[in-house]
């Protein structure tokens, strides 16, 4: 389940929006890979990619993979990422700064704790009666995607991974690391004590996405 906004893509055509969204969700791709996913010819994909690169939304990068010609991969730039919503970024950062200045770190921690508890109650209420981990992940992905995180999950052997391809509060999280700690704690409490949840990728630390490894625990 994937729900997200395309607000701000006003100067792109529909094909370019789909291409940018795919790069956001899956990371750097070659023109031929994008062509196959979007349903274009290789030449058609390259033309769109050239236009998007001229606008500064993406950038090409040459990567060598053993013997043979280097492969050109296209990835989203900072400007391209800026097309995705960062919820009231400037105002949120100002408010967090003001709370810390007026009430100190303890006051800011209480604010984050209150937000964490409200979010946790909402998530747990929505998951009431769900025993299967897959059902709980389906619900969590749905509600996080509605909140703008472009979330998805997948299974790899015995492990599960919850992935958030966008952070709509990134500016606030950069300012206040407590928001990220609270988010991880919420996932742990929401998914229950039969799994271990660890963050393995973090946007704030320069990763393309936030990713959480979920390990079922033996009873």
Domains in the chain, ordered, with CATH? 14-81 (1.10.10.10), 89-216 (3.30.1380.20)
Count of other CB atoms within 10 angstroms of residue 180:
20
Element containing residue 192 per DSSP (H, E): none
Q: Which of 13-17, 30-34, 88-92, 184-188 has the lowest mean pLDDT?
A: 88-92
* Alpha helix (H) residue ranges in 63-210: 78-81, 89-126, 133-146, 170-175, 178-191
Three-state SS at 150: coil
User: Quick one: pLDDT at residue 175?
Assistant: 74
Q: Give the residue, 107 or 20, on which the prediction is more confident.
A: 20
Q: What is the pLDDT of residues 135-181, one digit of tens each?
A: 999 999 999 998 889 999 999 999 999 999 988 888 777 777 788 88
Average pLDDT along the chain? 85
Longest CA–CA span in the chain (Å) reads: 61
Other C-beta atoms within 10 Å of 109: how many? 16
What end-to-end distance do the CA atoms of the chain give, in Å? 30
SS3 (DSSP) at 2:
coil
pLDDT above 90 covers a percentage of the chain that reads 37
The pLDDT of 184-191, averaged and rounded, is 93
Q: Please work out, in degrees rounded to the nearest 5, the angle formed at the alpha carbon of residue 154 by the alpha carbons of 185 and 2.
A: 85
Distance CA 3, CA 185 (A): 24
- Its pTM stands at 0.71
pLDDT tens track for 43-74: 999 999 998 898 888 899 888 766 777 889 99
């Amino acid at each position: 389940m994937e729900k997200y906004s395309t607000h701000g893509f006003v100067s792109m055509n529909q094909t370019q929006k789909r291409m940018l969204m795919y790069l956001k969700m899956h990371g750097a791709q070659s023109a031929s890979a994008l062509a196959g996913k979007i349903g274009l010819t290789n030449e058609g994909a390259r033309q769109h990619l050239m236009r998007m690169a001229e606008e500064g939304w993406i950038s090409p990068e040459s990567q060598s993979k053993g013997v043979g010609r280097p492969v050109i991969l296209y990835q989203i730039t900072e400007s391209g990422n800026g097309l995705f919503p960062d919820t009231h970024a400037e105002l949120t950062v100002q408010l967090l700064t003001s709370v810390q200045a007026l009430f100190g770190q303890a006051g800011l921690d209480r604010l984050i704790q209150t937000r964490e508890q409200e979010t946790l109650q909402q998530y747990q209420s929505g998951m009431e009666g769900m025993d299967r981990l897959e059902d709980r992940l389906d619900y969590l992905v749905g509600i996080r995607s509605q909140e703008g995180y472009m979330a998805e999950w997948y299974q790899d052997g015995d492990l599960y991974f919850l992935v958030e391809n966008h952070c709509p509060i990134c500016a606030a999280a950069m300012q206040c690391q407590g928001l990220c700690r609270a988010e991880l704690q919420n996932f742990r409490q929401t998914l229950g004590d039969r799994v271990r949840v660890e963050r393995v990728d973090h946007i704030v630390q320069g990763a393309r996405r936030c990713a959480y490894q979920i390990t079922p625990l033996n009873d």
